[in-house]
Chain A
Amino acid sequence: MASYLRPRELDEALRALRIAPRVVLAGGTDYYPARVGKPLDDEILDISAIDALLRIEEDEAGWRIPARCTWSALIAASLPPLFDGLKAAAREVGGAQIQNAGTLCGNVCNASPAADGVPNLLALDARVELSRVGSVREVPIAEFVLGNRRTAREADELVTALRVPRPGRPARGAFAKLGARRYLVISIVMAAAVIETEGDAVASARIAVGACGPVARRLPHLEARLAGHRLGMPAPAIEAVDLEPLTPIDDVRGSATYRRDAAATVLARLVEGATR
């Protein structure tokens, strides 16, 4: 019979992981759908009773979004415009039921190519906080999500939080998602942007696209072209080189060609909106 741990203390959770690998369970919104009609016989570490992982914290350096933070909690949190993209993504994840249970950390750990959290975290320049007994390390999100369902987490580590650095300048986030129906829809393409401004110009931009390859990717060429762009001016057109990091595939949701084209359109609109 598989064992099920639901500790209250973080230490206890980490100690358990040191003894043996376990499937971490947070909101269960990826865990259960992957086991329809299959036995539920994993060794489980349920982190949903660990109080230390619940509340978003803010300090000089930035924000800490802990492992139990749900999409709904993100939407409700009072956060600056920097997080507008992430919040927009949260509002479009599944339906309200999924938002109330699913966590941002779970979204990242599940490492689906269509995870709506990931491009936002790339644009936010977030770092993943990984804890094991006796030590904590931080990994940039781009180095954490390695491929479809693959992350840099070691078996004895728990993702305890995502850390978002405070930009030195005014910053705003934006997000856009393309799906084939209104609710409950897996993205065909999605894009996130964080624009830092100085005066009436873009000081720097971080832009990422998801569902166009095994992992979401930043678009450095486009980001570079945006630096110095005057707010309110027509945004520069998206060029083929901007999309070079993308490697879309054909699947039931759309062809590769379509994804590439749609990504350009989604990006153009996103950039237009974010630099208004």
Chain B
Amino acid sequence: MSAATDKIAFNVNGRDVAVAAAPQTRLADVLREELGLTGTKIGCNAGDCGACTIRLDGAQVCACLMPVAQAAGRRVETVEGLARDGRLSPLQQAFHAHGAAQCGICTPGMLMAAEDLLARDAAPDEAAVLDALGGVLCRCTGYRKIVDAVLSVAAGAQPAPVDVDGGVGARLAKVDALPKLTGAEAYGADAWPADALVLRAVRSPHAAARFTVGDLAPLHARFPGLVRVFSAADVPGPNAFGIYPVGKDQPVLADGEVRYRGEAVLALVGDGATIAAIRDEDVPVSWAPLDPILGAAAGVAPGARRLHARLEDNVLVRGRVARGDPDAAESAAAAVATGRFETSFVEHAYIEPEAGWARRVGDRVEIFVTTQTPYMDRDEVAHVMGLKPDQVRIIPSAVGGGFGGKLDLSVQPLIAIAAWHLKRPVRCVYTRPESMASSTKRHPATIAARFSADRDGHLLSAVFEGDFNTGAYASWGPTVANRVPVHATGPYAVPHVRATTRAIHTNEPPSGAFRGFGVPQAAVAHETLMDELAAGLGIDPLEFRHRNALRVGSVTATGQRLEASAGLQACLDALRPRWRDLRAAAEAFNKTGAGALRRGVGVACMWYGIGNTSMSNPSEMEIGVARDGRFTLFSGALDIGQGSNTIMTQIAAEALGVPASRIRLVTGDTDLTRDAGKTSASRQTFVSGNAARLAAEDLRAQLARLGNTDLAALPEISPGFVAIGRGRFDPPTTALDAEGQGVPYATYGFAAQLAAIEVDTGLGTIKVLRIVAAHDVGRAVNPQQVEGQIHGGIAQGLGLALMEEYVPGRTENLHDYLIPTIGDIPPIETLLIEDAEPLGPFGAKGIGEPALIPTAPAILNALHHATGVRVRRVPATPDRVHAALREAGVAP
């Protein structure tokens, strides 16, 4: 029997340890906090994500579900134990070579699960790999490269060589992969000073309420380790933040009224044990709930309560693009297709919850935090703190996934304010339910759309009305409302267009940025209607799209003439052979009468404007050369797993004409790098990549002028550097006029995807059998990474289509909120089309968001092909598909 005071002894990675922790403490916490083994990650503390997977006496278990008492006398293996004498294990090498780690937050868990498998079964097949890794979620990779990596080791193959020198076009291994594979990487929760206090927010359990805070003295008396409770009154500057100057409406800590469930009202700060011991019920907050406004329709219902005094009708912003006369065009059309579509809140579900720590240094505050946007964080924190931007330093941690969700403030202002007042470092790590309840979501959309075409199958008109539930605060709502109308036609030439959007406030989570900014929702509408028009006209769906595809010379709905790099037709041409074969195979399968199973194949297309909509969004880069001839690239472009560290290095290496391994990288820190904008809008390769190219070209020109001069003999122009090249790029765009006419983006990505699925008509379940994805990326700077982005995007698109639906208060964890597991992602074939963009660095555009957009509609179109049934609401969960099948009289 172990009493609380006894030490618990066990073996970790071959080393005997004894810890004094309370016996019920989660082993994961002991490994991380007591033993400093932060390679074991915590994504949920509930067994749902597998990030904490370790081996206990050889068998994989979740360290978050295990009392440390149960480790007594046993052998614990963590990711830190895999590499020996500085050499990666074969599995780690395979992950490296295959690009199986993107953000890397799931990598330790994946590696440990795979180690467990290979120790039991030296030659597993794919099914065994899936079974063994089924308990670890990955939100970035779409799993396929992980499966390939494990199978390559199982096959006993020599580890594939890792490319460390390649320039543009090479499959250069991620330049920052090593620490992700060894567990050494520091994510937001992985580094903190020993004397840091811990902060936890008390959050609203109500969607709408007024509240008062009672006397805190009894709470302090009961918990002496509670140092301070912060409230709205402690926010030094304006208690309002938000992306847009007009949208600074979100309080750091609510002031008497909450507008969504999960909103922070107080921040408790103290020692870790005390903060963990305080229950929300212990804190004297009295709530007076209000009737919540739920759903966009309720937000604009006559007489609806105003969420924000400045808005009369709860409409945050309206978007509009209009051209020609769609009504007249439609009356002359040979075919019209109409539909109403609905999408849900979607959670980013990055495996790394929000986390970081802050300290005050004189009259400055430094924040180490997981973020997609260090410079915007700096400015926003400065704003709410009443400081000047240069009084705030953001030091980005490694980021365990973002997808748009780490473009808004989370822990930053809370820890900054606490550290500022207390003059002590303060740390905060969100729990999974807290992360899910408080963070932004993908906008639920209600879309009514109508397209028409002439007898030859040429599109004539598009009318699109989209209402987007933007939740309680503005966040990125304006971006969605503005981006969607531009893209509402889909990637097709449509002469007559009227596309309008509204972003509507409700008492629901703020909807913000999420891979695609509303375009994935719009694509569900236009791609369904393309199929219906094609069917109405008796034209093959792929050929119909080909006929209407935007191409060089086309004029878009905003009146922009596409001058170059519009490769949608090439994408469709690449898909065509697969399309014919797969469609025929599905139809043949259905003729054999396979019981309740029906197969179908669908196609969908997308386009996506790279960079911000009609707004300046420059990036600046610097690259210096030292006396020893080594280069350092100062990049403010944040790598959130998507690979920009590698891409920037490759581009700079190519432009300088040196091997990539000669370039060292300094990223993100706002004191050390220039502003390279946000990692959003698929802009880093195109915009920051150009800045990196220009900086490298500048440096190359300077070096050329020096001729044969010995660098070592030159004076340093700044500490450590004898020459520095600078580059700046801002994509050329124009503002849109009142009718939405102008040049909103300098370039667009294009893509077409096929989905082959199998529907169980008895249960309404859908199994995706295969995806073929053709993407025009301009130039694949790194094909391996492009594939990785496509795989990951497809996995998220599959989730959007089939299972992901966030319901406040009901799906605030990763077992009620479902994201695809390793067993849900089919084989993916990627076909890269390189229709070079003259403005892009070496022809490149972006891929981050385009990858996700066509997947959901391709699956929905495949469902129709398989069963004749249309589902217009996503996710198409088994119960919804089943209901649609029954309504249509499709019997198994």
Chain A interface residues toward B at CB < 8 A: 1-8, 12, 25, 27-29, 31-33, 36-42, 44, 46, 48, 72, 91, 94-98, 100-101, 178, 180-186, 188, 252-255, 257-258, 261-262, 265-266, 269
Residue in chain B with minimal CB distance to A37: B431
Give, as a whole number of angstroms, the nearest-CB distance from A3 to chain B.
Answer: 7
0 or 1 for each of B407-437: is its CB under 8 Å from A? (1 = yes): 0000000000000000000000001111000
Contact check, A97 vs B47: say whether CB atoms are below 8 A apart.
yes
Q: Of B23, B135, B822, B824, which one neighbours A6 at CB under 8 angstroms? A: B23
Chain B interface residues toward A at CB < 8 A: 1-4, 22-26, 44-48, 50, 53, 56, 59-62, 64-67, 69-70, 72, 113, 116, 130-137, 276-279, 431-434, 596, 762-765, 802-803, 805, 807, 810-811, 813, 815-816, 818, 820-824, 877-879, 882-883, 886, 892
Contact check, B4 vs A97: say whether CB atoms are below 8 A apart.
no
Contact check, A184 vs B762: say whether CB atoms are below 8 A apart.
no
Contact check, B763 vs A101: say whether CB atoms are below 8 A apart.
no
Contact check, B69 vs A46: say whether CB atoms are below 8 A apart.
yes
Q: Of A36, A180, A266, which one neighbours B46 at CB under 8 angstroms? A: A36
B-side binding surface: helix, strand, loop or mixed? loop
Q: Of B46, B113, B820, B823, which one neighbours A32 at CB under 8 angstroms? A: B46
Most buried by B among A178, A184, A265: A184
Give, as a whole number of angstroms, the nearest-CB distance from B754 to chain A.
Answer: 21
Q: Of A4, A32, A258, A266, which one neighbours B64 at CB under 8 angstroms? A: A32
Q: Of A33, A180, A252, A254, which one neighbours B65 at CB under 8 angstroms? A: A33
Contact check, A184 vs B821: say whether CB atoms are below 8 A apart.
yes
Instruction: Tell me which residues across on chain B come within 8 A of A33, comparing CB atoms.
Output: 45-48, 65, 813, 815
Instruction: Tell me which residues across on chain A come within 8 A of B277, comparing CB atoms.
Output: 39, 41
Q: How far is the CA of A45 from the CA of B315 in the complex (A)?
A: 55
Instruction: Tell me which residues across on chain B come within 8 A of A32, comparing CB atoms.
Output: 26, 45-47, 64-65
Q: Of B116, B278, B433, B818, which one neighbours A185 at CB under 8 angstroms? A: B818
The 5 closest A-B pairs by CB, nearest first: A95-B135, A182-B823, A183-B134, A258-B879, A33-B46
Q: List 19 A-B contacts (CB under 8 A).
A: A4-B3, A4-B24, A6-B1, A8-B1, A27-B65, A32-B26, A33-B815, A91-B131, A95-B113, A96-B135, A97-B53, A97-B61, A100-B60, A183-B821, A185-B821, A188-B878, A255-B879, A257-B883, A266-B763
Instruction: Tell me which residues across on chain A come within 8 A of B26, comparing CB atoms.
Output: 32, 40
Residue in chain B with minimal CB distance to A26: B70
Give, as a whole number of angstroms, the nearest-CB distance from B404 to chain A.
Answer: 23
Instruction: Tell me which residues across on chain A come within 8 A of B434, comparing CB atoms.
Output: 37
Q: How far is the CA of A28 from the CA of B26 in the complex (A)?
A: 10
Contact check, A29 vs B65: say whether CB atoms are below 8 A apart.
yes
Q: How far is the CA of A121 from the CA of B712 in the complex (A)?
A: 78
Instruction: Tell me which residues across on chain B come within 8 A of A3, comparing CB atoms.
Output: 3-4
Give, as a whole number of angstroms, the nearest-CB distance from A210 to chain B.
Answer: 16
Q: How far is the CA of A269 from the CA of B26 in the complex (A)?
A: 42
Residue in chain A with minimal CB distance to B277: A39
Instruction: Tell me which residues across on chain A come within 8 A of B816, comparing CB atoms.
Output: 186, 252-253
Give, as a whole number of angstroms, the nearest-CB distance from B74 to chain A.
Answer: 11
Contact check, A101 vs B62: say whether CB atoms are below 8 A apart.
yes
Q: How far is the CA of A269 from the CA of B48 in the complex (A)?
A: 29
Contact check, A39 vs B276: say whether CB atoms are below 8 A apart.
yes
Contact check, A96 vs B116: say whether CB atoms are below 8 A apart.
yes
Inter-chain residue pair count (beta carbon < 8 A) = 186
Q: A95-B135, A258-B879 are in contact. Are A46 and B70 (CB under 8 A)?
A: yes
Instruction: Tell me which residues across on chain A come within 8 A of B67, comparing CB atoms.
Output: 4, 25, 28, 44, 46
Instruction: Tell me which residues across on chain A come within 8 A of B820, comparing CB atoms.
Output: 181
Q: Of B25, B50, B892, which one neighbours A40 at CB under 8 angstroms? A: B25
Contact check, A36 vs B431: say whether CB atoms are below 8 A apart.
yes
Contact check, B134 vs A48: say whether CB atoms are below 8 A apart.
no
Instruction: Tell me which residues across on chain B come within 8 A of A101, comparing CB atoms.
Output: 61-62, 65-66
Instruction: Tell me which residues across on chain B come within 8 A of A39, comparing CB atoms.
Output: 276-279
Give, as a whole number of angstroms, the nearest-CB distance from A53 to chain B.
Answer: 14
Instruction: Tell me which residues across on chain A come within 8 A of B1, comparing CB atoms.
Output: 5-8, 12
Q: Of A25, A94, A258, which one neighbours B135 at CB under 8 angstroms? A: A94
Instruction: Tell me which residues across on chain B come within 8 A of A258, comparing CB atoms.
Output: 764, 878-879, 882-883
Instruction: Tell me which residues across on chain A come within 8 A of B879, comparing CB atoms.
Output: 188, 253-255, 258, 262
Q: A98-B47, A258-B764 are in contact. Are A36 and B432 (CB under 8 A)?
A: yes
Q: A3-B4, A97-B60 are in contact. Are A184 and B48 (CB under 8 A)?
A: yes
Q: How far is the CA of A269 from the CA of B892 in the complex (A)?
A: 12
Give, as a whole number of angstroms, the nearest-CB distance from B587 to chain A.
Answer: 25
Q: How far is the CA of A94 from the CA of B815 in the complex (A)?
A: 10
Give, as a whole number of angstroms, the nearest-CB distance from A95 to chain B.
Answer: 2
Q: How far is the CA of A267 from the CA of B53 in the complex (A)?
A: 35
Instruction: Tell me which residues across on chain B come within 8 A of A186, comparing CB atoms.
Output: 815-816
Give, as a whole number of angstroms, the nearest-CB distance from A224 to chain B.
Answer: 24
Q: How far is the CA of A98 from the CA of B113 in the complex (A)?
A: 12
Contact check, B433 vs A36: say whether CB atoms are below 8 A apart.
yes
Excluding A4-B4, A40-B25, 20 further A-B contacts by CB distance (< 8 Å) are A4-B69, A6-B1, A6-B69, A25-B24, A28-B70, A32-B26, A32-B64, A33-B45, A33-B46, A33-B47, A37-B434, A39-B277, A95-B134, A182-B821, A182-B824, A184-B821, A185-B818, A185-B821, A255-B879, A258-B764
Instruction: Tell me which residues across on chain A come within 8 A of B59, comparing CB atoms.
Output: 72, 100
Residue in chain B with minimal CB distance to A3: B4
Instruction: Tell me which residues across on chain B come within 8 A of A25, comparing CB atoms.
Output: 24, 67
Q: How far is the CA of A253 from the CA of B136 in the complex (A)?
A: 21
Q: How far is the CA of A40 from the CA of B4 in the complex (A)?
A: 13
Contact check, B24 vs A2: say whether CB atoms are below 8 A apart.
yes
Q: Of A36, A97, A180, A269, which one neighbours B818 at CB under 8 angstroms? A: A180
Contact check, A180 vs B803: say whether CB atoms are below 8 A apart.
yes
Q: How far is the CA of A84 from the CA of B803 in the complex (A)?
A: 30
Contact check, A184 vs B882: say whether CB atoms are below 8 A apart.
no
Contact check, A4 vs B23: say whether CB atoms are below 8 A apart.
yes
Give, as a whole number of angstroms, the nearest-CB distance from A236 to chain B.
Answer: 17
Contact check, A36 vs B45: say whether CB atoms are below 8 A apart.
yes
Instruction: Tell me which residues across on chain B come within 8 A of A38, comparing CB atoms.
Output: 279
Contact check, A254 vs B878: say whether CB atoms are below 8 A apart.
yes
Q: How far is the CA of A6 from the CA of B46 in the complex (A)?
A: 22
Residue in chain A with minimal CB distance to B2: A6
Residue in chain A with minimal CB distance to B132: A96
Q: How far is the CA of A40 from the CA of B882 in the complex (A)?
A: 42
Give, as a whole number of angstroms, the nearest-CB distance from A259 to chain B.
Answer: 8
Q: A101-B65, A181-B803, A258-B878 are in contact. Are A36 and B60 (CB under 8 A)?
A: no
Instruction: Tell me which residues across on chain B come within 8 A of A255, comparing CB atoms.
Output: 879, 883
Q: How far is the CA of A42 from the CA of B25 in the complex (A)?
A: 12
Residue in chain B with minimal CB distance to A5: B1
Contact check, A180 vs B802: say whether CB atoms are below 8 A apart.
yes
Contact check, A181 vs B821: say whether CB atoms are below 8 A apart.
yes
Q: A184-B135, A262-B882 are in contact. Are A4 and B764 (CB under 8 A)?
A: no
Q: How far is the CA of A188 from the CA of B67 in the complex (A)?
A: 30
Residue in chain B with minimal CB distance to A31: B65
Instruction: Tell me which residues across on chain A come within 8 A of B811, comparing CB atoms.
Output: 252
Q: How far is the CA of A2 from the CA of B883 in the complex (A)?
A: 50
Q: How far is the CA of A97 from the CA of B65 in the complex (A)?
A: 10
Most buried by A among B25, B65, B113: B65
Residue in chain B with minimal CB distance to A46: B69
Give, as a whole number of angstroms, the nearest-CB distance from A203 to chain B.
Answer: 28
Contact check, A178 vs B878: say whether CB atoms are below 8 A apart.
yes
Q: A97-B135, A180-B877, A252-B811 are in contact. Are A261 and B882 (CB under 8 A)?
A: yes
Q: How far is the CA of A97 from the CA of B54 in the complex (A)?
A: 9
Q: How far is the CA of A258 from the CA of B883 in the complex (A)?
A: 7
Instruction: Tell me which residues across on chain B come within 8 A of A178, comparing CB atoms.
Output: 763, 765, 878
Contact check, B134 vs A37: say whether CB atoms are below 8 A apart.
no
Q: How far is the CA of A269 from the CA of B765 in the complex (A)?
A: 15
Q: How far is the CA of A59 from the CA of B134 in the complex (A)?
A: 36
Residue in chain B with minimal CB distance to A262: B763
Q: How far is the CA of A188 from the CA of B4 in the complex (A)?
A: 41
Q: How far is the CA of A187 from the CA of B127 in the complex (A)?
A: 21
Instruction: Tell me which residues across on chain B come within 8 A of A265, comparing CB atoms.
Output: 596, 762-763, 892
Q: How far is the CA of A261 from the CA of B885 in the complex (A)?
A: 12
